[in-house]
Structure 1
Amino acid sequence: MVKIKHVIIIFISFQFQDAFSQSVEIQGKIESDLNVENINVINKTSQFFTITDSEGRFKIKAKLNDTLLFSSIQHKPKTVIIDKNIIVLKAMRVFLEEKINELDEVVVGKILTGNLLLDISKTEGDPPINFYDVGIPGYTGKPATISERKLNEATTGSGIIPLNPIINALTGRTKMLKNRVKIDEKEALMQSIKARLEKDFLASNPLQDDLVMDFFYFCADDENFIVHCKNQTDFKILIFLRMKYRQYLENLRANKN
């Protein structure tokens, strides 16, 4: 009888160990005084990742002792180790603190006293004049890049038959400038993604420091880079980067062989 009890206890122990060694889907919720949507949730152990919805909720697979990293531009990064309580409940709540970027105090120009008449009397120079002051309509949209300005110059002209666009089309200059605009667009988008997502992506997809820039250019060279990454959510962009990451590693292995 005693032996049977020991066998039952050992069997139950193995059942518990097996249960804790398996990955389970954990439902979580982020709490914060700031916006809780699109917060990156990365399982650094298994390299799974997801993002939160508009209410701060997320689902991610994890097992006992896995490390979850929570990060966003507005919040301080936070790391949570999956314990037995989280595995049993299959749920967790995480509170994120606001990230405050403090700048050194800089005094520019004269110190104001708060007395309006006195401060105005100490101000030197004339106020700047803009096109509204003189009644001239002006452009207030996004400034054009150098390549976009050159393309506009190459495709516009004056006169009954504008020769500038015709000459540039025949010589191939217009086509060349259009390609340059596309390259500039890819470069700007790639740099924006790198600045915003590099840290979180590399946390679960490590690369040597000297390969990081090469990897992001490798992504930008994909013919569908603009389609997958322009005006897309961070989650979709991370999926694309993950796919390119596997291709990049395969290329590195092939070059070594």
Structure 2
Amino acid sequence: MILMRYFLILLLCFTTVNSYSQDSTATKTPERVKGTIISSTSQEPLSEVNIVNINQVVGTATDDNGQFEIKAKVNDTLHLSYIGYKSIKVRVTNDWLKFGNTEITMTELALALEEVTVKQLELTGYLEVDMKQVPIQSNNQYRISGLYGKAYEGRKTNIATKVLGAIFNPADFLYNMFGKKPNEMHKLKKIKEDDEIRNQLAKRFDREMLMVLLQVTKYDLDEIVNQCNYSKDFINTANDLQMLDAISECYEEYKVIQRSKERKSKKKKDKA
């Protein structure tokens, strides 16, 4: 009788533990969230909306039904952007993770087309005179991986001189950007490894996604590339992927020189 009682107690304990384990598994936070994006005016789904998880640096896009699924956890921020619509940021909540698909509405922007004046060349018929009117662009063009038929500008001089100046002069722009934003700059590698984000950047010229991911302004982006010896022509014509690769290359060279500087400084201290 006593043995039977012990057996029932053990069985009850096992059942309780097993039920708790199942409940824990069932309530475990999923690693992905789902959503559907619609237009505020037409109430129709929007396809090819760009979605980027700023915290985990992963991206995706909506399908023909306006639906998407992306890796995320509680308090992650998703950045949604679409041509002709106001970009928005959405925070991932417990309710979203718990209840699944969430409907998100995006609002159209009023598009204002600016008048563009194209200056035509007024040819005189005299070669020597007419040649002076043709703008000369001496920037070398190179192909970029993953972009068939596209080309972009290479730097005209080595960056080492400017980066060295950035390290030894604390007031220098590059030093302030690279040295004081290590977390943002570390995202560069993650951005380059995500094929979806790279594909999105290759189609964009507005710098918006880069600004969001790196937490910098458009001026900062342009100035980084400028300080890295890329021309204004490149800054004005490069797509966002080309800008990303230019900044990434500049940052990698900066890190090499920074480590060299730190080793020299350590040697001086050891000798002293």
**TM-score, with structure 2 as normaliser:** 0.46
**TM-score, with structure 1 as normaliser:** 0.48
